[in-house]
């Protein structure tokens, strides 16, 4: 940076004005940059229209200059990733992609399932398997069948932490980035939570002190846990490290969680507040806990906000918190015929934000093709735009993966993909695992595809369980 300012001082007065103006216009990119397109945003017919903007950052030293392109993702496959933007892992058994994390160098880590065991894959930035991870880029945690890694994060020490389920119990695992298990965590790298029945962790986040927060479901309850860096439940959090929520005798489920700037925990999922056991009447639940694990009464008066779209089945699937402390919930809501993509924004006080959405009611709901459109993940890009990712054409013999992008104000962004949507069709039945962005702004999705066929003897559609393939997409 010192050399950069020396260069500025050497320029003519006109050049200095130009460079300073360029610096101010790109301050949010954290680098001095060269814009390759304009940045003016317009709105037409309720659709946000932003020109495509890629930014090239330049870092100079006394001996070299390095340029890096940051992407304002436009919703096209990135052909620098494995030649066509897609990586597929196929074996003779079940391969599922559920969670994805990316380090600062662009190395990708995926968790899921291989042949009934919790599985890991690692890929280089170009889409090739990372042989520095376990020798061949692949690893499994053995035991039983039907075990899945659901979520993966990198902690501040660069270790891989995975949450999921194993032998019908919730499990946390910690691995080094070379693919070896970290025996300094829990019981030789493993921490198991055993509830009264089938329980599982759905998602995981970490704080700067390498405490690990998990959310999931145990015996029809939402459960949130806090573990220390060595794998022990934190006794000062809730009830000996665990917080439970149940509306009654029926199903509630915790799906995702996020930490705000005050270390409060925001959880979403679905809640059966009717207490009649009808999944058709479950609502989106948003709960905020204090850092000590008690309901935060400064959020919607009692720490809980229930969102009901049309008195039918609604599901909260993802949560992120923006720089102003506002809570964004990715969900799918039922319109009476099928599910639609939805994003809600709540203020830091837990109320629907009436400055958000095309109708100013705190939500944006979009129907892709008059069929089931189901959100499974949400994230924010560096400019604050909102990405929803999930599936479309659900419960048919051809389901596809779907991504939609919205402006910060909740308006569908028509500059992304085709009129605000990107759809990927593998030609098979596509499910969805997880979505994230790398440090260059590219969208990375871990998912799976499989065969789904009609069985005449049972008069129903069934999955060929051995046909599952794990795949990664990268969009730019």
SS3 122: strand
Inside any domain, residue 79: no
Position 410 pLDDT exceeds 70: yes
Contact assessment for residue 136 and residue 144, using Cβ atoms and an 8 Å cutoff: no
**Burial letters 148-174, b for 16+ CB under 10 A, else e:** bbbbbbbbeeebbbbbbbbeebbbbbb
Structure-model confidence comparison of residues 269 and 246, the more confident one = 269
Contact assessment for residue 401 and residue 413, using Cβ atoms and an 8 Å cutoff: no
- Pick from 427, 417, 311: which is nearest to 368 by CA? 417
Quote the CA–CA distance of 385 and 283 in Å, as a whole number: 25
H or E segment to which residue 61 belongs: none
Inside any domain, residue 78: no
- Pick from 252, 265, 159, 174: which is nearest to 213 by CA? 265
Label residue 26 by pLDDT band (50, 70, 90).
very low
Q: What is the pLDDT of residues 43-61, one digit of tens each?
A: 333 344 343 445 555 555 5
Structure-model confidence comparison of residues 451 and 216, the more confident one = 216
Inside any domain, residue 380: yes
Domain shared by 60 and 114, yes or no: no
pLDDT of residue 194: 87
Domain shared by 66 and 94, yes or no: no
Domain shared by 364 and 229, yes or no: yes
pLDDT of residue 30: 28
Q: Given the DSSP bridges, would you call strands 265-271 and 253-259 parallel, antiparallel or unpaired?
A: antiparallel
Neighbours of 80 (CB within 10 A): 13
DSSP secondary structure letter of residue 261: T
Position 113 pLDDT exceeds 70: yes
Inside any domain, residue 120: yes
pLDDT of residue 234: 98
Contact assessment for residue 389 and residue 445, using Cβ atoms and an 8 Å cutoff: yes
Quote the CA–CA distance of 433 and 449 in Å, as a whole number: 11
Task: Write the CB contacts of 313 (distance below 8 Å, at least 6 apart in sequence).
Answer: 270, 279, 280, 281, 282, 334
Q: Which two tokens stand for residue 466?
A: 């051995």
pLDDT of residue 109: 98
Domain shared by 177 and 61, yes or no: no
Domain shared by 57 and 27, yes or no: yes
CA angle 467, 162, 144 (to 5 degrees): 50
Residue 31 dihedral angles phi and psi, to the nearest 5°: -140, 155
Domain shared by 324 and 231, yes or no: yes
Position 5 pLDDT exceeds 50: no
Q: Which two tokens stand for residue 455?
A: 């069985």
Q: CATH number, domain at 405?
A: 2.120.10.30
Least confident of 187-201, 305-319, 450-464: 450-464
Inside any domain, residue 76: no
DSSP secondary structure letter of residue 285: E
Inside any domain, residue 326: yes
Q: What percent of the chain has pLDDT over 90?
A: 67
Domain shared by 183 and 307, yes or no: yes
Please spell the DSSP secondary structure of 64-118, one letter per residue.
-EEEEEEE---S-B-TTTTTTSEEEE--SS-EEEEEEEE-TT--EEEEEEETTEE
Quote the CA–CA distance of 270 and 307 in Å, as a whole number: 9
Q: What is the pLDDT of residues 130-140, one digit of tens each?
A: 999 999 999 99
Inside any domain, residue 431: yes
pLDDT of residue 450: 83
Q: What is the pLDDT of residues 275-319, one digit of tens each?
A: 555 556 789 999 999 999 999 999 999 999 999 998 889 999 999
Domain shared by 427 and 293, yes or no: yes
What's the number of domains the chain is made of?
2
- Pick from 278, 341, 289, 352: which is nearest to 313 by CA? 278
Domain shared by 321 and 221, yes or no: yes
Inside any domain, residue 398: yes
77 class by beta-carbon count within 10 Å (0-12 exposed, 13-18 middle, 19+ buried): middle
| Segments forming the whole domain that contains residue 420 | 86-475
**Burial letters 378-395, b for 16+ CB under 10 A, else e:** bbbbbeebbbbbbbbbbe
Domain shared by 296 and 445, yes or no: yes
Neighbours of 315 (CB within 10 A): 24
Contact assessment for residue 474 and residue 441, using Cβ atoms and an 8 Å cutoff: no
Contact assessment for residue 364 and residue 356, using Cβ atoms and an 8 Å cutoff: yes
Domain shared by 131 and 219, yes or no: yes
Domain shared by 366 and 438, yes or no: yes
Q: How far is CA 462 from CA 115, 141, 392, 394, 439, in A?
A: 19, 28, 18, 14, 39
């Amino acid at each position: 940076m010192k050399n950069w300012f020396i260069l500025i001082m050497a320029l003519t007065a006109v050049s200095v004005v130009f460079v300073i103006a360029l610096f101010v216009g790109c301050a949010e990119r954290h680098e001095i940059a060269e814009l390759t397109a304009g940045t003016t945003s317009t709105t037409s017919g309720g659709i946000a229209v932003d020109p495509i903007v890629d930014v090239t950052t330049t870092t100079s030293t006394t001996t070299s200059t390095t340029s890096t392109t940051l992407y304002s993702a436009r919703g096209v496959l990135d052909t620098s990733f494995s030649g066509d933007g897609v990586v597929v892992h196929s074996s003779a058994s079940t391969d599922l992609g559920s969670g994805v994390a990316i380090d600062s160098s662009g190395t990708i880590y995926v968790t899921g399932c291989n042949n009934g065991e919790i599985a890991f894959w690692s890929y280089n930035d170009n889409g090739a398997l990372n042989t520095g991870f376990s020798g061949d880029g692949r690893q499994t945690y053995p035991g039983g069948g039907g075990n899945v890694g659901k979520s993966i994060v990198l902690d501040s020490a660069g270790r891989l932490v995975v949450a999921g389920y194993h032998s019908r119990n919730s499990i946390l695992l910690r691995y080094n980035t070379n693919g070896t298990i970290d025996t300094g965590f829990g019981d030789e790298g493993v921490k198991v939570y055993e509830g009264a029945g089938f329980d599982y962790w759905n998602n995981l986040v970490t704080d700067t002190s390498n405490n690990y927060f998990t959310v999931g479901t145990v015996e029809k309850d939402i459960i949130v846990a806090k573990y220390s860096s060595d794998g022990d439940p934190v006794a000062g959090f809730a009830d000996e490290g665990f917080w439970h929520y149940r509306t009654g005798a029926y199903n509630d489920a915790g799906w995702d969680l996020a930490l705000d700037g005050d270390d409060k925990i925001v959880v979403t999922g679905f809640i059966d507040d009717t207490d009649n056991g009808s999944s058709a009447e479950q609502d989106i639940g948003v709960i905020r806990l204090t850092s000590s694990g008690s309901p935060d009464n400064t959020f919607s008066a009692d720490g809980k906000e229930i969102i009901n779209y049309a008195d039918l089945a609604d599901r909260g699937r993802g949560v992120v918190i923006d720089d102003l402390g506002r809570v964004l919930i990715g969900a799918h809501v039922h319109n009476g015929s099928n599910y639609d993509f939805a994003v809600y924004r709540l203020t830091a006080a837990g109320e629907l934000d009436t400055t958000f959405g095309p109708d100013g009611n705190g939500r944006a709901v979009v129907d892709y093709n008059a069929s089931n459109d189901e959100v499974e993940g949400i994230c924010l890009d560096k400019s604050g735009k909102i990405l929803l990712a999930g599936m479309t054409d659900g419960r048919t013999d051809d389901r596809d993966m779907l991504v939609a992008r919205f402006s910060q104000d909740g308006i569908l962004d028509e500059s992304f993909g085709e009129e605000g949507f990107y759809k990927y069709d593998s030609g098979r039945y596509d499910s969805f695992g997880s979505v994230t962005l790398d440090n260059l702004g590219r969208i990375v999705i871990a998912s799976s595809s499989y065969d789904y066929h009609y069985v005449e003897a049972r008069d129903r559609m069934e999955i060929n369980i051995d046909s599952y393939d794990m795949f990664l997409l990268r969009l730019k």
